[in-house]
Amino acid sequence: MKSILLIGNPNSGKTLLFNQLTGLTQKVANYPGITVEIRTGHFHDLTFHDFPGAYSLKPLTKDEKVAVQAFEEALHKPETKVILYVVDSTRLERSLYLLLQVIEEARAMKCPVVVAANIMDEVLSKGASVDLKGLEEALQCPVVGISAKKGTGIQELKKILSTIASKDREGLPQKKDSEKSSLETIKDRSRFLAKKYGPLTDILIKSQYRLDRFFLSSGWGPFVFMAIMIFLFQAIFTWAAPLMDFFSSSIEWLGGWVSSQAPPGFMADFISDAIFGGVGSFIVFVPQIFILFLVIGFLEDSGYLARAAVICHRPLSWFGLSGRSFVPLLSGFACAIPAILSTRSIESPRKRLLTMVAIPFMACSARLPVYALLIGAFIPVKNVLGGLIGLQGLTFFLLYAFGILSGLVISGLLNRALKTDQDDTPFIVEMPPYRFPSFKTVFRHALQRTTDFVKTAALIIFIVTAIIWILGYFPYGTGHLDQSILGFLGKLIEPAFAPMGMDWKIGVAILTSFAAREVFVATLGTLYGLGTAADQMETLTHTLQHTGFSLATAISLLVFYALAMQCASTLAVMRKEAGSNKVPILVFVGLSLLAYSGAWLAYHIVS
């Protein structure tokens, strides 16, 4: 296969262009440093490699080191035919430094370079233009104007790449005396553009500055940020309700039809209770997970996240973190695994470690079904704060806030305990322009992330619930759970959970969820033998309310899940990124003890 290397500054649209070229759906956002590992995709006989963004071939951060090291290694491979350098056409001047370095490297290795001038749609919409022909002559390599967002210029770019890749590596023209004049030509054109479009640029900068004065102010900035977060959690409940009802009724109908086709006995019970009672109980909450991904996607694409990182820098610094920790922490609301990988953008090893430890406290999408189930069962549906927000949405927000505060406190304590020297790495972040997100792109990405999550979770849930149901079925069949193998084993562990107000069924559900948190709801659905006789969500909620499940037990369970480390995949990634077995072991043991103690305390306070 012929390889093409995609490289450029952060937030230049590389990953979106990569998706256009390969048809894949990698994460795209309007924030520097989104790509944290090398992505690979194919188009006909071409293989594209998307590298993390960098500002220089002399890297500072871990993600830049990953990009530069991998880029230089790939450049030496004979199958590498072209370097595709992506520039943000609205900020051409910032791209020249790395571009000239790449051209120097490419010239030495006799590898051709193609420049993709991205985001041309915004340049044209502002009444400006880019002299692509003049830039091509000055750089002595092809320059193609494109818009990865709208798909314009992509076909022309593909043709050029295919043509160049089909030839042997001849590289760029060697240095000549005329090179100096070429660079001077670039400078002259930059001066001309600055003179011609300077007033327009000033207007755009002033417009962005006016918005930043509002979003970054010490008064309004934190208030706006809190309002956005509260809106997020309110939306999770209110917007998801119709879809949850649809999913629930669909599962009820499908489960009833499928189980009716099976012969009465073991198989019908397995389909009814294990598959639709267990896995179905989890699937009902998928709309809430989708809305979480959707709203976070809009925030990422809008350019607001960089501003939020600035707002949060000072309070985060009190706990040994920095504004660069903000995006990894926010990503933890979706999934801790990519969140931990994104800590590579943090220059300081100390702050990177503290951020990794804090991320598991962020309420990821796997916690969402647990929160939604217990809040829906024990928190009444009514509005508070003058009707501005529902009590359930507010409770949701407080749970997330509790997780965030807990993570920050632990990070602060660990920061004081570490004996390594403190570092004063300055917090510098590029402010991307404000952009109205593409609903199509955000929706497609949210759908992809939700689908990936469900595929992974559904397999784990099915395996665990099948085992749980079989242990609960034998030796006496349905209706004899207390006398089953599972009942015997569950009662052995019940004394460990009784101090938190939990019976053996909840204890079994908690233990199974250490493989993955989302298993908890499915396990409860299986243990209570819900089948498909009625609405999954309403039945599980009703069952919990009438089986000795008190408010104190619900609160203790919520506290436990807010603090516990219940994800084997996260621990594996943490070990890889930290380069040590000690970190994930200490995190798992420490958070498990903290969760148990917190749940015990919460139960006794509420009861």
pLDDT in tens, 262-300: 777 777 777 776 677 667 767 777 887 888 788 888 887
pLDDT of residue 179: 47
d(CA 127, CA 531): 62
Torsion of CA 322, 327, 331, 336, to 10 degrees: -40
Instruction: Kindly state the helix (H) or strand (E) to which residue 42 belongs, with its residue range.
Output: strand 39-43
Candidates 101, 87, 77; CA nearest to 53 is 87
Chain-centroid distance of CA 401 in Å reads 18
- Please give the Cα distance from 545 to 279 (Å, whole number): 21
Give pLDDT tens digits for 92-131: 877 888 888 888 888 888 889 999 999 898 888 877 778 8
Number of structural domains, the chain? 2
CB under 8 Å to 123, separation ≥6 — which residues? 89, 90, 129, 130
Bridge partners of 86, per DSSP, are: 8, 116
The answer to whether the Cα torsion of 102, 103, 104, 109 is positive or negative is: positive
Residue 227 lies in a domain: no
For residue 243, tell me if it sits in a domain.
no
CA atoms within 13 A on the CB side of 211: 15
Structural domain contains residue 435 = no
Contact (Cβ atoms closer than 8 angstroms) between residue 496 and residue 507: yes
Per-residue model confidence as pLDDT tens digits over 386-397: 777 788 888 888
- What pLDDT digit, counting tens, does each position of 296-314 carry? 888 878 888 788 888 888 8
pLDDT average, residue stretch 154-163: 91
Region 139-167 average pLDDT: 89
Residue 283 lies in a domain: no
| Domain contains 508 | yes
Q: Is the pTM of this model over 0.85?
A: no
Residue range(s) defining the domain that contains residue 477: 452-606
* Residues comprising the chain, all counted: 607
Per-residue pLDDT tens digits for 369-423: 888 888 888 888 888 877 777 888 888 889 989 999 999 999 999 988 886 655 6
Q: Domain holding 54: CATH number?
A: 3.40.50.300
Of 133, 166, 199, the residue that ends a domain is: 199
Paired tokens of 398: 């407080």
- Of the two residues 383 and 218, the one the predictor is more confident about is 383
Q: Which of 152, 183, 199 is the last residue of a domain?
A: 199
Residue 215 has pLDDT above 90, yes or no: no
Q: Which stretch of 27-31, 68-72, 597-601 has the lowest confidence by average pLDDT?
A: 27-31
Asked whether residue 97 is assigned to any structural domain, the reply reads yes
Output the six-digit token pair for 307. Answer: 């501003």
Please report whether residue 41 resides in a domain.
yes
Residue 459, in any domain of the structure: yes
- Pure H helices in 55-152: 62-75, 92-109, 120-125, 132-139
Give the residue carrying structure tokens 């809430």: 288
- Of 199, 217, 245, the one marking the end of a domain is 199
Q: Residue 193: its pLDDT value, please?
A: 46
pLDDT level of residue 588 (50, 70, 90 thresholds)? very high
For the ranges 24-38, 320-334, 488-502, the one whose mean pLDDT is highest: 488-502
